Amino acid sequence: MRVLEKRRRLVGLGALGVVAVVVLTACTPAAEPSTSPSPTPEASTPEPYAGPAAFVGDELESFLLTPEEIIGLVPEATEVGDASAVLEQVSDGGGAPASPAICEAFYAEQSLGSVGARVIDWKVPTDPEYGFGRLLVLQFADETLAQARMDQLMRAAEQCAEFSKEGTATFDAVIPEDAENTRAFAGTLRDDALGWHSFDAFASTGNVIVQLWQPFTGDRTFDAESAAVLLQSRAEEARTALIDDLTENPPVQEEDPAADPAAPWADWQIGVGGVGPLSLGGEIDDVIAAAEGAQVIEPEYEGGPTKLVNGEGTGSMLVQPVEGGTTVWKITVGDERIFDEGEQDGEVLPARTGVRVGALISEAMAAFPEGTIVDVASSGDDFYAVSNREGQVFRFHSDRDAVEGAATIIGITVEDGKAAKSAVFG
C-alpha cells in the first residue's frame, strides 16, 4: 500500500456588492432645496449552504469521467457509452469468506444499498474473457450510509495487501492524502484461486461513492495513482458545484397534505412521510391501527411485512418494520414483486401525485424524472426509483423490464432510506 501526500488549496469565491450612487444636479441656481435621495441598498449575498452534501438524480453526472479520461486510465477501452440511468444488479452472493473479513468488501456488489445511480459502460475487445468495464456513481440515502460504506472500503485498502479467501489473494492499494471533503484509493485485486482479477478505483464525498471497475485476465498493470487522484478531484469539483448551487437555490422540502383516516384509500397520498395517515417511523401497531376498517394479515415470518386489505378486498398495502425493530421502515401500496398473489385495483388505492398502481412505468418517469431504473437479475425484480435529499425513496415496481414500453406499475413503495441497515463486511 502506498500513501500519497499532496497539497490542495480551495479558493473561495466571494461576491462583490455594487452600490449605485444617484447624483442629482440643480436645474437653475434659484431651485428650492430638496432632500437627499435615499441610498440604494447593497445587493445581499446569500448565506452559504451549510446542510448535508446530498446529491440526487442528474446531479450524479457531475462525478462522471469523460471518454478521453476513461481511455487514459484503461487504454484498451473502446466504445465508451453515454451516461445511463439503468442499473443492473446481480445480488447473488456466495463464496468462501475472506480473512481478514474486511477484505470481503472487494468482492461485494457496491451498488447494493444505493438508492440511485449513473453508469458508463465500455468495451475491452482485447480481453478474451472480460470484454467490458464500468464506472458507477452511486447515490446513498444520506452521508452517514455512504461514508460508513467508504470507511469499510478504506479499511480494506489498508489491511488487505495480502489475505485469504479460496486461497491467497492480494490488493495493491494506492491511497492519496485525503482532500478537504473527499477520500479515494485505487488498486488491483488478484485472486488466482478464484481466477478473478480486477482493477478498482473509489472516491467518495457526501452521499455518493464512485467506483471505476475493470475486470481483466492475464497480467496487466494500471496507473492506480492517476485513477485515484482523478476520481478524487472530480468528486471535490462536484461537491463545490453542489454547494454553490444550493446556496443560490436553497432546497425546499416537500410537505404532505393532511389525511383523514376515515376517508377512502383512494383519497390518500403517497408522500414523504408515508401513505395517508400511515406514517414512516411510527410504531407499527399504531400505524396499522390508523388504517381504519382494514383487514389485517399478520407477517408470514418474523420481521416481515404486515398486510392490510381494504374492505372490498380489491387492494392491499404492506407495512414493513425496520430490521430488528418495531418502527415502520417502508410502506408498499399494491404489490412489491411480480410473484405476489392477488389483483390490485389501482383506482381504490393511494396514489403518488396522480400516479397509481396500474399506470405505465413511463408515466412515473415523466412525472418524476431523474430517477434510476433498476434490474435485479437474481430475483427478477424491476423498478424505477426516485429519491430526495432527505433520504426518502419512492420505488415504482414493474411487472417486467422497466425499460419496456408496456411496463406497468404493480406497486409503489415509500421508504425511509436512512433507516436501512448498512452492509457490514468485517
pLDDT tens digits along 338-369: 777 667 999 999 999 999 999 999 999 999 99
Say what the pLDDT of residue 349 is.
98
The whole-model pTM stands at 0.89
Three cell numbers at 411? 406497486
Residues in the chain, overall count: 426
Task: Return the half-sphere exposure (C-beta side, CA atoms, 13 A cut-off) of residue 166.
Answer: 10
Structure confidence by residue, pLDDT tens digits, 144-166: 999 999 999 999 999 999 999 99
Say what the pLDDT of residue 3 is.
59
Say what the pLDDT of residue 343 is.
77
Say what the pLDDT of residue 100 is.
96
Three cell numbers at 58? 442528474
Residue 202 pairs with which residues in a beta bridge? Answer: 185, 211
Q: What is the pLDDT along the chain (426 residues), one digit of tens a residue?
A: 665 544 333 333 333 233 333 333 333 444 444 455 555 555 578 899 999 999 999 999 999 999 999 999 999 999 999 999 999 998 665 678 999 999 999 999 999 999 999 999 999 999 989 999 999 999 999 999 999 999 999 999 999 999 999 999 999 999 999 888 999 999 999 999 999 999 999 999 999 999 999 999 998 999 999 999 999 999 999 999 999 999 999 999 999 999 999 999 999 999 999 999 999 999 999 999 999 999 999 999 999 999 999 999 999 999 999 999 999 999 999 999 877 766 799 999 999 999 999 999 999 999 999 999 999 998 889 999 999 999 999 999 999 999 999 999 999 999 999 999 888 887
CA distances to 258, 276, 346, 355 from 262, rounded to whole Å, are: 12, 10, 19, 22
Which three-class secondary structure state does DSSP give residue 225? helix
CA distance 158 to 204: 16
Give domain 57-248's CATH superfamily.
PknH-like extracellular domain (3.40.1000.70)
φ, ψ of residue 209 to 5 degrees: the values are: -125, 130
* Residue whose entry in the numeric block shows the C-alpha cell 390518500: 268
β-pairing, 116-123 vs 295-297, is: unpaired
The residue ranges of every structural domain in the chain are 57-248, 265-419
CA distance 119 to 115: 13
